[in-house]
A and B are shown apart, each in its own frame.
Chain A
Amino acid sequence: MSEKSQPRSGKEKLALMQAEQARKSRQTKLLSVLAGFVVAVLVVVGVAWAVSSQNKKEQDQKAKAAAASNKFIDTVTSIPASSFAAVGAGTANGRPQPLANPKAETENGKPVMTYIGAEFCPYCGMERWAMVAALSRFGSFSGLQGAVSAADDQPANIPTMTFLHSKYTSKYLVFNSYETQDRNHNPLQTPPKAISKVMASVNPNGTIPWIDFGGKTYTNGATYDGSSMSNMSAEDVAAQLKKPSSPLAKGILGAANVMTAQLCELTDGKPGAVCKAKGVIEAAGASGQ
Chain B
Amino acid sequence: MSAGSAVKVRLKRPGWLAPTTLVLSVLGLLDAAYLTYEHYTGSTSLACSETAHVNCTRVTTSQWSELAGIPVALLGLLFFIAMTVLCLPVVWRRAPGYVQQLRLGGAAVGLLMVFYLLWAEFFKIHAICLWCTGVHIITFVLLIVLVVGEIFSHYDVDDGA
Contact = CB atoms under 8 A, between A and B. Distances in A.
Nearest to B52: A152
Contacts of B122: 48-49, 51-52
B140 A30 contact: no
B109 interface: no
A40 B21 CA distance: 23
Contact of A154 (B53, B125, B140, B147): B125
A245 interface: no
A183 to B, nearest CB: 12
Nearest to A49: B122
Interface string A43-80: 00100110111011000000000000000000000000
A38 B143 CA distance: 11
B70 interface: no
Interface residues of B, number: 23
Nearest to B153: A27
Contacts of A154: 58, 62-63, 125
Contacts of B144: 34, 38
A153 B123 CA distance: 13
A61 to B, nearest CB: 14
23 contacts: A4-B160, A4-B161, A5-B158, A23-B154, A31-B148, A31-B151, A34-B144, A34-B147, A34-B148, A41-B140, A48-B119, A48-B122, A48-B123, A49-B122, A52-B126, A56-B126, A151-B126, A152-B52, A152-B55, A152-B58, A153-B58, A154-B62, A154-B63
